[in-house]
């Protein structure tokens, strides 16, 4: 015992810390894995009693492998927090029939299964976003706010939320239906008029209200159309940072996306002014443009360049129509609020020229652009690998073409084949014909050899 004490006490502290970390990982790893269950074909029969968050994956999928450590963290976090959501994963290639029943079309696919309902997760694949989605969807579609304190609490916690105010009504029934459909995107609450703060004044009840941008806006069936489409349009803040994923989500709202392309890391005076102008339009001209436009800014032009297959200067302003891949750019640099308002108005009335689109020419151009971008990215990341992947096939094809073009027929072999196909008499006749064509008749010796044995005896 003393030997082990002196042995370990002589170790440097760094070595002891490393050994402690290794043993901790070995001991805790089975516990972490236990938080995520591997599901099989019995899952369909046993899942109805619980709420499940399931990752449908394929073993060969690179994105699935990248999600795996995040998924383990999600399982551990939900277990430790006491959430009723159980976390599992299923090999969709091994259980393809069950995956197709759940509507799995790609990998990885994240679904929350609650009773007969299945909700797709379309957010960023980060631990916090996935957990927030699970906790939101696992609960009731419409959450009640019994007091003013609870109302003030949720206002501080959520940047966008929807609230039904009033008693039982057909509007409330419709609100519950919409909430069950769109709970994957945002939060839905209900409250009585007494739970609202004094700053919220509603003209009539019942009412559906959205709180965002430090303000609130009431749903009007006559002006806003169906409640579902209105909620879908209003579930984003009026102005927000935009990246590739956010742009994909905004496409589901049916709005045009007005983007100020700026350099956030090294902002110039023009970038700051352009960003400020588009923020003013979003805040001060909501009644005019909110129904048709979503406003925001994007850091850098790399994603936009790949999207529209053209070079966009920084800073610049453009409007994207995600439904048909068209885009609009002002003919002159925007320097004032009036110029920006005129540009947005021209996009709405159709006088602004549209570029891009989803026609046949643009699709061919897209294929060529994507192929070129892929090749260039391979060569930039690994020149040797690029030379091997693209140089080797081109070299083989070149050699094949060279061999085909320089190939010559072998006359000798053709003649030999012809002679093998001839009988002995035909060969003698062919030889005689060749001699005659060569310029002379066969000599007497040859004629003698051509005589048959009976003729020789007579002579």
State the pLDDT confidence band at 437, using cuts at 50, 70 and 90: low
Number of helices (H) and strands (E) in the chain: give both, helices first: 22, 16
User: Is the pLDDT score of 172 beyond 60?
Assistant: yes
CATH number for the domain running over 239-358: 3.40.30.10
Q: How far, in Å, are 214, 239, 248, 286, 312 from residue 217 at the CA level?
A: 10, 15, 25, 11, 35
User: Is the pLDDT score of 182 beyond 80?
Assistant: yes
CA dihedral over 156, 114, 92, 30, signed as positive or negative: positive
Question: Whole-angstrom Cα distance, residue 109 to residue 90?
Answer: 10
Question: Whole-angstrom Cα distance, residue 313 to residue 302?
Answer: 10
State the pLDDT confidence band at 155, using cuts at 50, 70 and 90: very high
State the pLDDT confidence band at 366, using cuts at 50, 70 and 90: low
Do the domains spanning 31-136 and 239-358 agree at the CATH topology level?
yes
CA–centroid distance for 396 within its chain: 35
- The percentage of the chain sitting over the pLDDT mark of 90, rounded to a whole number, equals 39
State the pLDDT confidence band at 218, using cuts at 50, 70 and 90: very high
Cβ-contact 312, 259 below 8 angstroms: no
Question: Whole-angstrom Cα distance, residue 216 to residue 218?
Answer: 7
pLDDT of residue 31: 42
Cβ-contact 274, 315 below 8 angstroms: yes
Q: Residue 206: which residues within 8 A CB-CB, separation 6 or more?
A: 164, 165, 166, 167, 169, 171, 172
Question: Tokens 């003729």 belong to which residue?
Answer: 455
Is residue 401 part of the annotated active site? The answer reads no
Catalytic residue among 25, 64, 387, 401: 64
Q: Which of 8-12, 158-162, 296-300, 438-442 has the lowest mean pLDDT?
A: 8-12
Domain definitions of the chain by residue range: 31-136, 140-234, 239-358, 362-402
Q: Which of 226, 277, 233 is nearest to 255 (CA)?
A: 233
Is residue 61 part of the annotated active site? The answer reads yes
Averaged pLDDT for residues 105-120:
88
pLDDT of residue 27: 43
CA–centroid distance for 445 within its chain: 92
Burial class of residue 182 in the structure, from the number of CB atoms within 10 Å of its CB (0-12 exposed, 13-18 middle, 19+ buried) = middle
Catalytic residue among 25, 61, 387, 405: 61
Averaged pLDDT for residues 389-396:
71
pLDDT of residue 107: 87
- pTM, entire model: 0.69
Class of domain 31-136: alpha beta
* Architecture of the domain defined by 140-234: 3-Layer(aba) Sandwich (3.40)
């Amino acid at each position: 015992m003393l030997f082990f004490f002196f042995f370990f006490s002589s170790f440097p502290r760094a070595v002891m810390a490393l050994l402690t970390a290794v043993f901790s990982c070995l001991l805790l790893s089975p516990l972490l894995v236990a938080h995520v269950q591997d599901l099989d074909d019995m899952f369909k029969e046993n899942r109805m009693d619980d709420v499940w968050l399931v990752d449908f994956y394929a073993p060969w999928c690179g994105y699935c492998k990248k999600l795996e450590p995040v998924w383990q963290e999600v399982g551990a976090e939900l277990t430790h927090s006491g959430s009723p959501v159980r976390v599992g994963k299923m090999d969709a290639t091994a259980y393809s029939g069950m995956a197709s029943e759940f509507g799995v079309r790609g990998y990885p696919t994240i679904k929350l299964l609650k009773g007969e309902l299945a909700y797709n997760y379309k957010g960023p694949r980060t631990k916090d976003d996935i957990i927030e989605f699970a906790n939101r969807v696992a609960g009731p579609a419409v959450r009640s706010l019994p007091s003013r304190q609870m109302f003030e609490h949720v206002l501080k916690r959520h940047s966008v939320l929807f609230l039904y105010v009033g008693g039982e009504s057909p509007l409330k029934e419709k609100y519950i239906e919409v909430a069950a459909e769109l709970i994957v995107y945002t939060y839905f609450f209900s409250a009585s008029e007494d739970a609202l703060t004094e700053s919220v004044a509603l003209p009539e009840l019942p009412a559906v209200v959205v709180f965002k941008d430090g303000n609130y806006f009431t749903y009007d069936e006559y002006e806003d159309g169906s409640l579902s489409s209105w909620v879908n349009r209003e579930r984003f803040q009026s102005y927000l940072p935009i990246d590739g994923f956010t742009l994909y989500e905004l496409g589901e709202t049916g709005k045009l996306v007005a983007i100020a392309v700026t350099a956030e890391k090294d902002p110039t005076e023009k970038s700051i002014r352009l960003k400020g102008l588009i923020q003013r339009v979003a805040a001060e001209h909501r009644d005019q443009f909110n129904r048709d436009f979503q406003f925001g800014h994007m850091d850098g032009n790399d994603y936009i360049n790949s999207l529209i297959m053209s070079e966009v200067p920084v800073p610049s302003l453009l409007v994207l129509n995600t439904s048909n891949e068209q885009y609009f750019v002002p003919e002159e640099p925007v320097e004032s609020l009036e110029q920006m308002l005129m540009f947005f108005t021209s996009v709405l009335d159709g006088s602004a020229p549209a570029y891009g689109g989803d026609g046949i020419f643009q699709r061919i151009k897209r294929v060529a652009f994507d192929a070129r971008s892929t090749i260039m990215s391979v060569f930039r990341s690994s020149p040797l690998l690029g030379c091997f992947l693209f140089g080797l096939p081109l070299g083989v094809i070149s050699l094949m073409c060279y061999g085909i073009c320089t190939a010559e027929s072998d006359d000798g072999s053709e003649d030999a084949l012809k002679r093998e196909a001839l009988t002995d008499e035909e060969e003698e006749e062919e030889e005689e014909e060749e001699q005659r064509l060569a310029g002379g008749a066969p000599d007497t010796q040859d004629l003698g050899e051509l005589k048959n044995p009976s003729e020789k005896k007579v002579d």
